[in-house]
Amino acid sequence: MNSILDENDLKTLLRPQNAGQSSSTPTAPTQTPVVPPAPIAATASIQPETFAARIPEKTQPQANSKTWLKETLKISWKFAAIFVFIFTLSFTLINFPAISKQLGYFYSYKLGNNTPSQAVPTLEFNALSEAKLIVPKIGVSAPIQWNVDEATFQDKLLTGLVHLNGTALPGQIGNIFITGHSSYYAWAKSDYKDVFALLAKLTTGDKIYIEYNNITYTYTVNGSNVVKPTQLEVLAGGSTPTLTLMTCVPIGTNLNRLVVTADQTASSGLF
């Protein structure tokens, strides 16, 4: 047995296992090269739509305001239309008797070309009954409540026409002041709730008659006027016998007063 190693044997034992690599030079770890981003060319253009998308729309609040205003106006118009419809319907139902009288008058004397009568009434006068006011042109024949004071004025209007206490009586010098409803609640039980619904149809020359104390007094209309409720000069008398008829206008309101004035032009004896 040979226990001595020669030089070649020592070289073989000391030789590295990776013979293809140098034992004196260490191997550096492999790294992936970092590529810097390419610079943007100075002449590169930015797409307008991309640029605009990055900037908030300045006109958007104004557009929203216009839309909100339009929607608000639309809703307001709808509510207004509903209100007008309900009001018109309610007003028509409440004042239907008076409105129907006006429509009937228009149909008969405007569309039908008829002429309303101005004839002296031929009804037999009953001395035991209440005095009456008759206006043939507008179909009025209603009892008169005489010398009514303000405390009972409104209640008496449902029983006929009302003569204001303190004004003249037929046959006397001065102003006879008589008033009546142009319209009242449709459900009110009264034959006179719309007795003066057509009072505005009277014009100069029309005839009005009052039966009083077995005498028929004839009055001829000399004019009409719309006044405020505070214009109390319509109550004033004069040096001749006159008649004033008054009612509320427009129909269904008490905003103003329609006043028709007339002069006494004749009187006749017993019927």
Half-sphere exposure of residue 190, counting CA atoms within 13 Å on the CB side? 23
This prediction has a pTM of 0.64
Distance, in Å, from the CA atom of 218 to the CA atom of 207, rounded to the nearest integer, reads 7
Tokens linked to 172: 């006397």
- Give the pLDDT of the chain (271 residues) as one tens digit per residue: 455 555 555 555 555 555 444 444 555 555 555 556 555 555 545 555 555 555 555 555 666 777 888 888 888 888 888 888 887 777 777 777 777 777 777 777 766 667 776 666 555 545 445 689 999 999 999 999 999 988 888 889 999 999 999 999 999 999 999 999 999 888 888 899 999 999 999 999 999 999 998 888 999 999 999 999 999 889 888 899 999 999 999 988 889 999 999 999 998 864 4
Place of tokens 């004749």: 266
For 200-235, the DSSP string reads GG--TT-EEEEEETTEEEEEEEEEEEEE-TT-GGGG
Alpha helices in 19-132 (DSSP H): 48-54, 60-94, 96-106
Place of tokens 């002041």: 177
Which helix (H) or strand (E) element contains residue 162?
strand 161-164
Which helix (H) or strand (E) element contains residue 241?
strand 241-249
State the architecture of 107-268 in CATH terms: Beta Barrel (2.40)
